[in-house]
Structure formats: structure tokens, C-alpha cells
Structure 1
């Protein structure tokens, strides 16, 4: 049995590794082109013998981070150029050596932290200042490396715009993951309510708690996609689609928070061992609406509007106790968020609800 488990884990691990390699191909090609162009400009056109900085700056600025937006690239480039220029100035003043390396590094790190709160900005400045202090000065003076850094920065920004990674694929993967998790969690919650299954309610809550990280990842990838599409002449046509995703993301963030509250309440309710099929049916309808959000927002609006029209405790649970009515009332703001995600005005979404 253990041998079988190890075999399955190895296969899953191999699949994940291969998927990671496949998803990294566009970034690797982009970095390769940018680094090669930076090297050619610095080595051939400018005549610098060892343009190490031109290559390393390009690779560091582009990287494999989820956020490949021009803003992030520019932020890292500024940090790198500050690290290079400051350390070259300090090298002229204090010269090379061990204590000089330590002194210049700490000064660079502190100056970088003063300029920007970004950890990536500070690390980039520190790495480049160390290279300046350790490597022998090039012919033409230490500020040749600053020129190489500027060349790398310009090339990195141009490549970001002209040879962009597909900004929609990462956002699409993150969206798919979030919708799948919401669907699984709501399916488990339906089972919990229909069968008074407390472990199922606990599992639904655990799954919903994972959605916050997924929302954060989708936010990063979508923000990066919008930033790239703004400056890329080849991807600008996707801006309306990406902005619509941004609206959907904001609404789903609020909806996920409401769902966690609803599931905690359901977890408390099912402890009495009573089955509540009416509430299970209601959550099933909500689940169907979220599924439609992924594929057809017009149908989702029509379906969720129908759910909203009957969303009162008396309609769902005639003669119910207060503890059950509260759960129905908690679903009302969730439906408003989901209707807003379809493009409906928030005021109109609230008007679709009956009096409580």
C-alpha cells in the first residue's frame, strides 16, 4: 500500500514539474531574447569587454515572478540602477576591500529601504552593489556598468511590451482554480445541510478558507496582465476583457467572504442532527449561479435574479426558527455580490430582493 502511495505521489510530482516547465516556456524565451539583446548592445555596439551587468540586470528584472507587469519590472530596474550607481560612487570614495564591501552593502540596503518598501527593490540593489564591489573595474571606468544597467533596463521594458508573455493565461488559470474550489465547497455544503453532516460542513469551510490565497494570486496575475496589455500594441485589444475580469474578481472576493460566514453558520446549525433539504436546495441554486458566472453572465444574471426574488425566510423556510432564518438572511448580500458580478448595478441588485 505504501509503495502504491509513493508511486502515485511521484507521478503527481512529475506532472506538476512538467506543468511548471510548460508554463515557464514563454518567460524563459522572453528572458533569453532580452539578455541576448542586452549583451549584444553592450558588447558589440558599445564595446564593453565584460557586460556582466547588462545580462544579470535583464534576467533579474524580468524573472519568473507571477507579477510580470511593467510597473514591477521598472521598480526592480530602478533598484538595480540605484545599487550600481551608489556602489560605484562609494567604490571611488573608499576603494575595494572586505570592510568596504560590508560598508557599501549595508548603506545600499538602507538607502533602498528608504526609497521603496519593496523587498524585491532592496534585494536587487544589494545584489548589484555586491557585484560592483567584487568584480574588477572595467576599462573605461566604473560607471561603464551603470551604462550597461541602463541598456538592460531599456531592453527589459521594450521586451515586456513587444514580446510579452501571454498575460491572460495565468489569470485564466487562477480564475479556473478559484471557481473550481468554490464549486467543490458549495457541493460539500449542500451535503452537510441535506444530511446534517458536520464533518462535511467542516470540509466546506476548510475549502472556502483556501480561496483567499487564490483570490490574491488571481489579483496579482490579473493586475500584471492589465499592466502589460496597456503598453503592448499586440495585447491592448484584450483590455476590456481583462477589466471585466477585474470587476468579476472584486465581486467574487466579497462573495467568498460571505460564503465563509454562511458556512460557519451552517456548521453550527447541523450540529443538532436535523436535515435541512430546503437550505440545501437554496445553496444548490447559488452554486448553479456561480457556475454560470464562469460561462455566461447573462444567464447567470437571469438565474440569480430568480433566486433573489424568492430569498426571504418565509418563502424558503415557512414557519422556520430564528436560527435557520438567519442563514437565509445571510445569503441575501451574497446574491447582491453575485448579481453585481454579472454587470448589474448594485442598487438594482438590492431591489431584486424581497422584503425580509
Structure 2
């Protein structure tokens, strides 16, 4: 039986998330054991719930957000337990419990997450799980236990921040290489539909860039907090240094594709060496992708980018049409961006190209 691309994509997503899922499930069981056997709580429902909230959020968000969720759950459960045990459960009691839980959360922190989590946890206590006996703070303690276990699991058995960076970095760099290849092929064949299609695909790359930024933020926090991942900080630093120039290269590539479309539509003559240089830039991107994944300094990518710059310097070609001049100018900008992504400073990268003539 043939597996379609959608199924394969979903299986890859599951494989990528499997370590976090296993981490979450084991930590939930540990939190239950701690709350039930060590603290003596008969049904510590909120301990594993807090673990799931904590680790589930840490899969792709900041540590601060994780802490906000845990505090929100604990606060909502505590306020709900205390008030419902005193005033009972009903429509006006629910309104009062939610209002007070959210107000307390706002007093503690200005973020919206902690208030929303406190309100939803208070609703759960006031409706489905009202206190059965003395009420009090027992279930609030369960939630705190779950949060502590979840945070400990993230710190002691963290996901691999480098694998996270590789996964999202590969997507961004592949999209950049494909956009450059699409521009090269469209120019070589004077193919207007291909240029339009490449531009449309490149316009969707901003989502991949945002996901890479989020992955690097998460990876940086994991590498800072977890002793097991301290050694990955230097390799993550290369990704972090390359991320902004790669984003600029994608933006400049989108501009170039828009002007490529205009130049082809207006039948402007384009330099014959332009497709070859764009293919070379796509190869620079692929080399950068591979060297970042290998954890080495991107020397090969830098040399390849300098070779493109040397070709531009040696050719001395000047474009005639307005759109074509923009295309060649963007090629220069993309080359500078990629040199910076390999660790070259802006001044050196700019000096590698010939000065712009008026």
C-alpha cells in the first residue's frame, strides 16, 4: 500500500513529538505517585493535569509561558476549592469564583495566560469537581506538585534543542533554496507562470521563519536551564547568528521574484549569467543547511558565497531595464545576507562585491 504525502508528513510530525509525549506521560504518572503515595491524597487529579499543561506547553513555547500555566492552574484550583467549599456551587457562585480567580491572577502577573488558566481551572472545580469534604488547599498542592514534576522533567530530561533547531532550520533553508532555484529556472526559460508560482511559494515562507525563531528561543532556554544540554549552546549560537540574515535573504528573494515577474512580463533583457549565479546561491544555502546541521563552522558555504561575489565583480554586466536592475541589486543583497549567515560581518560581506554604480 502506498503512503501518501499527507500521511508521511503526519508520521514525521508524530516522530518528532514522540520524545515529548513520552516525557509527558511518564511525568504524569510520577506526579500521581508523589501526590497519592507521598502526600496521601486519595485522588490527586490535578497533579497529572498540571504535568500535561506544563510539558505540553514547553514543547514549543517559552519557559515563562510554562510557569504561567502552572501558576494559573494552581491558583484557579486553590481559589475554587476555598470558595466553593464555603459558598457552594451554582450560577452566581461560578461567576464569583471565576472573577476572583482571574483577579488574583492579574494581580500576580499581567500576562493573559495565567488569568485564563486560573479562570478555566476555577470553572472545573466549581462545576465538575467540587470539594467533597473539607475543601482547602489539598488540590492546589496537587497542582503545584504536578507543576514541579513537569518542570523537573523538562530540566532533567529535556528535548534536544539542536534537533529542534535542525528541524525548523532545514525547512527555512530548503524554502530559500527552492525560491532561488525557481527564480533561476524562470529567468533561464523566460517562464512567467514558473516565476509566479515561485513567488507564491516564497510568500508563505514567513511561517517557517516564525517557527524557526520560536524553536531557537525554546532551544536557548533548554540549553540554559538543563545541565544535560549545556554543551549544545555553542552550536545553537551558530543557528541564532544565522537566523536574522537568513530571514533577510528570504525577504530579498521575495522582492527579487516580484521584479523577476515584472521583468519577464515586460520582456526586459536579462544578463545571461544571472540564472547560473542564482543556482550558485541556492547551492550556498544547501551547504549552509548541511554545515549548521553538522555543527561545524560554515566554511564551505562562505567560500561558495564568495565565489558568487567574485563572479559578480568580474562580470561588470549592467542591466538595462528597471526591473532587471532591481533583480541584480537583490542578488547582491542576498549574497551579502548569506555571507553574514556564515559568520562574516556586514562590512566584509559588502566589500566582497563591487560598488554600486549610479
TM-score higher than 0.5 here?
yes
- Between stretches 226-235 and 81-90, larger displacement belongs to 81-90
- 1:32 matched to 2:33: no
- 1:281 matched to 2:298: no
- 1:194 matched to 2:195: no
User: Among residues 266, 273, 289, which one is paired with 1:294 in the alignment?
Assistant: 289
**Is this contact kept in 2: 1:91–1:133, CA < 8 A?**
yes
> Hey, what does 2:337 align to over in structure 1?
337
> Hey, what does 1:261 align to over in structure 2?
255
- Post-superposition offset of 1:216: 0.7
> Hey, what does 1:73 align to over in structure 2?
66
**Is this contact kept in 1: 2:94–2:126, CA < 8 A?**
yes
- Post-superposition offset of 1:58: 1.1
> Hey, what does 2:144 align to over in structure 1?
150
Alpha-carbon distance between aligned partners in 2 of 1:252 and 1:111, rounded to the nearest angstrom: 43
> Hey, what does 1:98 align to over in structure 2?
91
> Hey, what does 1:160 align to over in structure 2?
154
> Hey, what does 1:227 align to over in structure 2?
221
Q: Where does structure 2 lack aligned partners over 5 or more consecutive residues?
A: 292-297
- Between stretches 165-174 and 81-90, larger displacement belongs to 81-90
Alpha-carbon distance between aligned partners in 2 of 1:205 and 1:255, rounded to the nearest angstrom: 14
Deviating above 6 A after TM superposition, structure 1's stretches of 4 or more consecutive aligned residues are: none
| 1:144-180 deviation digits (Å, cap 9, x = unpaired) | 1111111111111111011112222232111111222
**Is this contact kept in 1: 2:260–2:323, CA < 8 A?**
no
- Give the aligned CA root-mean-square deviation in angstroms: 2.5
Equivalent residue pairs, number: 348
Matches within 5 A, 1:1-356: 11-63=4-56, 66-67=59-60, 69-91=62-84, 94-109=87-102, 112=105, 120-134=113-127, 135-139=129-133, 141-273=135-267, 276=270, 277-296=272-291, 297-311=298-312, 315-318=315-318, 320-356=320-356
Alpha-carbon distance change, 316 to 64 in structure 1, aligned in 2, over 3 angstroms: farther
**Is this contact kept in 2: 1:178–1:211, CA < 8 A?**
yes
- Post-superposition offset of 1:45: 0.8
> Hey, what does 1:4 align to over in structure 2?
none
